[in-house]
Chain A
Amino acid sequence: MVNKSPGVKALPLAEGYLLVDSKKCQGCLSCMMVCSMVHEGSICLSLSRIQVMQNILKKWPEDIKIVQCRQCANPLCVKACPTGALYVDTANGNIRVIDEAKCNGCKKCITACPFLPQRIVWNPETGKALKCDLCLNTPYWKEKGGPSGKQACVEICPQQVIKFTRKAPKQQGDGGYDLELSEEIVK
């Protein structure tokens, strides 16, 4: 299956997506902690590919918002990358991933991401960009990740509000990605 948006060079759709339910999230940040830990070996909220933003002074549901990489059908980040570091990994379910070795740190992918906050994460220590790879490359985790495996954030979430799906969510707006989760939607 390919993306057939008019006027855009067709790229194959990803075969895996993360869905969240911000309204039920318990705000523990465990997903952010393990995301950075399985990828980097240390825990750092600023290096997590999934971001849970919370203001504990606000009332529900304005107190918490989860944002995750959307594995866009039309990935502007991929198209913006001048080195081919950010590419569609056809060997792994067409997910949009970064080859850190090729990343030159130009931040064009971050600028290109049309969502706020941008889903590409900047690592100031390495001077390179990071993004969700659905746990395809997790040196500090024993599980097999990627679109055919497990995702650390999904596994750790005590509220079960992060789910993996193969079905492409509705691209317009946030409703396809942040919704009340049910088995039917996830399948």
Chain B
Amino acid sequence: MTAGYTGKILRINLTHGSKSIIDTEQYEEFGGGHGIGSAIFWDLCQDKAISGYDPRNVITIMPGPNAGTCIPGGNRMELCGVGTFAYPVEWFTRSNIGGFFSSMLKFAGWDGIVIEGKASKPVWINIIDDKVIIEDATGLWGQLVNTAQAEIWRRVTGRDSFGEWLPLGDKQTTQGPSILCIGPGGENLSRLGTIQSGIGVSSSEGGLGGVWGSKNLKAISVLGTGSIKIADPVALIATRNWANALIGQKPAPVPNGRQVSCAGCFWKCKSRTQSGAYQDGMCLRGFYLTDPLPDGRTASDIYSLYGFNMNELAGVSLTDGVYVDKLYKMGVLGPGKPIDSSPVPFEKFGSAEYAESLCKAMANREGIGADLTEGLMRASAKWGRLEQDLASGLLHKAHWGYSWHWSLPNVEQPFSSMVSEREIVEHIFTSPRNGSILGSPEFMKMPAEKLVDMLSKKVIPYTNDPFMFDYNWQEPDGSNMKQALETGIYSEHKAKFVAWHRHYSRFYIQSVLYCDYICPCWFDPQAENWSGLTPEFETRFFNAVTGKNLSFAEGIEKGRKIWNTDRAIWVLQGRHRNMENLAPFMFTPAGSSVKTIDFRPPPAPGQIESPADDNPEGPPPLLPGAAPQAVYKNGQWASVAQANMYLDKAGVEQWKTHYYKFEGWDVETGWPTRNTLEELGLRKVADTLQKAGKLGKAK
């Protein structure tokens, strides 16, 4: 058994109540997390074109070799399966979650969990080391996520909290169980249903909470007392110290509270306070924290407790989400209006009362809640507004119905999402310059030529092509189209970068599982030339834990294999080139209307400067602070602010052709070819596609 792995994956069939073991070794080449999840899904889910709600759906919960170790950002986990959220097809999808479950699962002796079938009544799964029991969820079903988890803690440990050793056979622990849990959202099959761990840590995108609900699975609890073998402990500590010296963070005071992190991490990106508000909140919840609406913080807590996707709810509760609020203000939605808003009090939009009422209506599928719990794309379609609102950008969803997270001028974001199954939400990839949270103001000043030179050395194995980072676009008058096609955003160079981006993420971020707040580490403010820890970071930690001698390029190739496995699944679900498009508003000036990162100090709650909304029936207003991008013009590199960027249809089509060609896919259909799949060791995948009549044609 390779160090860093426990050697076994728990397989549970809820229909039969059966449990079995899969040897990790047969899937180890995929790394862990998403890679192993996709490979197992491929093998076990016979009909891949099923609905996410189908009992035959196979879902995987997979940590990676990092989990259970002190690798910073290393204790995340990947959840996969056919989702429920994507529009118009419920694509096979993924969602990532941090916290403590991944490490505890490893300590219990498991590299992952596979769930098949559907229980006949609500259940939860109780894992204590190698003892696995499918338990009756009576008393848990219907509970908010905090109440349900507290009750599971009591049932597992026989007490409310901690303070003594808990004997477990001949073993013992002072720890409590780590729990994944759905709320009323997932139970009632909401496409916005999340899986929460604690209160603020969640797996939100993809609607996998609704999948758990459809399987009658309320929660999984795990408590472990075992060991994780480390191949080279000395190297692991040395690498941790090296990384900490370069990108570690100094402690900062939290009034009446503490900074908190996921297991094993040296960063401190969350907080916990005496009030319990915003418990372990992170990322998108920050928008609620600074939202000018009166109860943004409280609303974010309410959404967590009910187990609803806060990113999607931004479209129904945040000032910069606005869709339903704009419909309300337009007189289209409201009491007695064409879209009846009862029982949700839209006149109290932004209040805690509104948030609670919204959650209850969505969970109970009551009134407008029945529409909203299907997600805004399906709701808008039902209201007969989808086409016009996507065209205007009023409904600000560029790809597969997912809410806007990062996008233009970071063009690799919408392009990656378009060829994926969801909005990718890979933070540091928002753009090489925008996305880094490592002292970004300094990098804003980095000369463009120096920037692209540094970045182009890191994208192994496609090094030394600075045009991968060129953001030339056609400009509003179309004057720069030639450059955009040759070296800019529609060029083969950008296609190459997106391919690297996809392969890197699939292996290092989603399978080995480095937190995407840390990796890729483009910049290090303390290093000469500001050159960050990528590519050294990823392989040094991986090799110290596993004892392997993986090169960075080998990891990228593994990512390509995982990416092609996913691609084949989507093809079997109906994917074709002609489906891979962006919403119409992306091709108009509305395409740039996005809240881009703002490097100014964050405002105090309630103090954010909201830009004037001079287009009440249009997309949300642009916030200031868009970072300049590197642009190659007249033989030299320059930094240019591109907050007004939008796309050209012919340009995007050319980009797609470049991209499919680079991936070795049929440029007519976007389907992988046999040559490409066999080169990756995926002959059985090629055979299946061929049998389905969906194998790409070689040139």
Of all chain A residues, which has the CB nearest B256? A60
Q: Is the CB of A37 within 8 A of B236?
A: yes
For the residues of B in contact with A, the DSSP-based class is loop
Q: How far does the Cβ of B221 sit from chain A's closest Cβ, in whole Å?
A: 13
The answer for the CA separation of A65 and B69 in the assembled complex, in Å, is 21
Q: Which residues of A contact B146 (CB under 8 A)?
A: 57
A62 surroundings in chain B (CB, below 8 A): 161
Main SS of the interface on chain A? loop
Residues of chain A within 8 A (CB-CB) of B164 are 116-117
Complex Cα–Cα for A156 and B234 (A) = 13
- Is residue B276 within 8 Å, beta carbon to beta carbon, of the partner chain? yes
CB distance from A37 to the nearest CB of B (A): 5
A124 touches B107 (CB 8 A): no
B271 to chain A, nearest CB (A): 9
CB neighbors of B among A38-70 (8 A): 38, 40-47, 51, 53-65, 67
Q: Which residues of B contact A37 (CB under 8 A)?
A: 70, 230, 233, 236-237
Contact across chains for B280 and A46 when beta carbons are under 8 A apart: no
For residue B528, CB closer than 8 A to chain A, the reply is no
In the bound complex, residues from chain A placing their C-beta under 8 Å from that of B171 are 46, 124
Contact B263 A28, beta carbon cutoff 8 Å = yes
Name which of A18-26, A71-79, A80-88, A91-99 contacts chain B: A18-26
A30 CA to B241 CA in the complex, in Å?
A: 12
Say whether B260 contacts A47, CB under 8 Å.
Answer: no
B contact residues around A160 at 8 Å (CB): 251
Question: Does A33 lie within 8 Å of B229, measured CB to CB?
Answer: no
CB-contact partner of B100 in A46, A56, A156, under 8 A: A56
How distant is the Cα of A40 from the Cα of B262 in the complex, in angstroms? Answer: 23
> Which of under 10, 10 to 19, 20 to 34, or 35 or more describes the interface residues of A?
35 or more
- Distance (whole angstroms) from the CB of A153 to the closest CB of chain B: 11
Looking at the complex, which one of B176, B230, B274 makes contact with A55 (CB distance below 8 Å)? B176
Asked if residues A34 and B237 are in contact (CB atoms below 8 Å), the reply is yes
Complex alpha-carbon distance, A155 and B237, angstroms: 10
The reply to whether the CB of A142 lies closer than 8 angstroms to some CB of chain B is yes
Note all chain A residues with C-beta closer than 8 A to B260: 26-27, 56
Determine if A53 and B163 form an interchain contact, defined as CB atoms under 8 angstroms apart: yes
Complex Cα distance A45/B229, Å?
13
Q: A42's closest neighbor in chain B, by CB?
A: B227
Contact B268 A158 (CB under 8 A): yes
Task: Determine whether the beta carbon of A56 is less than 8 Å from that of B99.
Answer: yes
Q: How far is the CB of A83 from chain B (nearest CB, A)?
A: 21
Interface flag for B555 (CB, 8 Å): no
**A60-B163 in contact given A30-B264, A38-B237, A42-B230 (Cβ < 8 Å):** no
Min CB gap A5→B, angstroms? 26
- Which residues in B have their C-beta under 8 angstroms from that of A34? 70, 237
Interface of chain B residues 215 through 239 with chain A (CB within 8 A): 224-230, 233-234, 236-238
Say yes or no: is A118 at the interface (Cβ < 8 Å to chain B).
Answer: yes
Closest residue of chain A to B107, judged by CB?
A45
B150 touches A (CB below 8 Å)? yes
B143 to chain A, nearest CB (A): 13
Cβ contacts under 8 Å, B249 to chain A: 158
Q: Contacts A24-B251, A122-B172; is A42 near B228 (CB within 8 Å)?
A: yes
Instruction: Determine whether A137 belongs to the interface, using a CB cutoff of 8 Å to chain B.
Output: no
Contacts of A42 in B (CB 8 A): 227-230
Does A159 interact with chain B (Cβ within 8 Å)? yes
**Contact pick for B70, options A24, A30, A40, A122, CB 8 Å:** A30
By a CB distance below 8 angstroms, the chain A residues around B264 are: 28-30, 33
The answer to whether B233 and A38 touch across the interface, beta carbons within 8 angstroms, is: yes
A151 is an interface residue with CB less than 8 A from chain B: no
Write out, one digit per residue, whether chain A residues 100-123 have a CB within 8 A of any chain B CB (1) or not (0).
Answer: 000000000000000011100010
Contact B227 A28 (CB under 8 A): no
With a cutoff of 8 Å between Cβ atoms, the chain B residues found around residue A61 in the complex are 258, 274
List the A side residues contacting B248 at CB < 8 Å: 158
A38 surroundings in chain B (CB, below 8 A): 233, 237
A-side contacts of B636, CB under 8 Å: none
Q: How far is the CA of A34 from the CA of B237 in the complex (A)?
A: 8
B296 → A minimal CB distance (Å): 20
B175: which of A30, A33, A53, A159 is its contact (CB, 8 Å)? Answer: A53
- A59-B276, A158-B251 in contact; A26/B198 too (CB < 8 A)? no
Report Cα–Cα, A60/B199, bound state, in Å.
Answer: 14
Whether B228 contacts A44 by the Cβ 8 Å rule is yes
Greatest chain B CB density within 10 A among A55, A61, A140 is at A55
A23 partner residues in chain B, CB cutoff 8 A: 258
CA gap between A44 and B171 in the complex, in Å: 12
Q: How far, in whole Å, are A94 and B279 apart by their CA atoms in the complex?
A: 43
Contacts of A63 in B (CB 8 A): 258, 272
Query: In whole angstroms, what is the CA distance A56 to B150 when docked?
Result: 10
Interface pairs (6), CB distance under 8 Å: A30-B266, A37-B70, A56-B199, A61-B258, A141-B234, A159-B251
Interfacial residues, chain B to chain A (CB-CB below 8 A): 68-70, 99-100, 103, 107, 146, 149-150, 153, 161-165, 170-176, 197-199, 201, 224-230, 233-234, 236-238, 240-241, 244, 248-249, 251, 256-268, 272-276, 279-280
Top 7 closest pairs, chain A to chain B, by CB = A56-B198, A158-B266, A53-B162, A44-B227, A140-B233, A42-B227, A59-B276
Instruction: Identify 10 new A-B residue pairs, CB closer than 8 A, beyond the known A26-B261, A33-B70, A34-B70.
Output: A24-B258, A27-B260, A45-B224, A46-B226, A54-B175, A59-B273, A124-B171, A152-B237, A158-B244, A158-B267
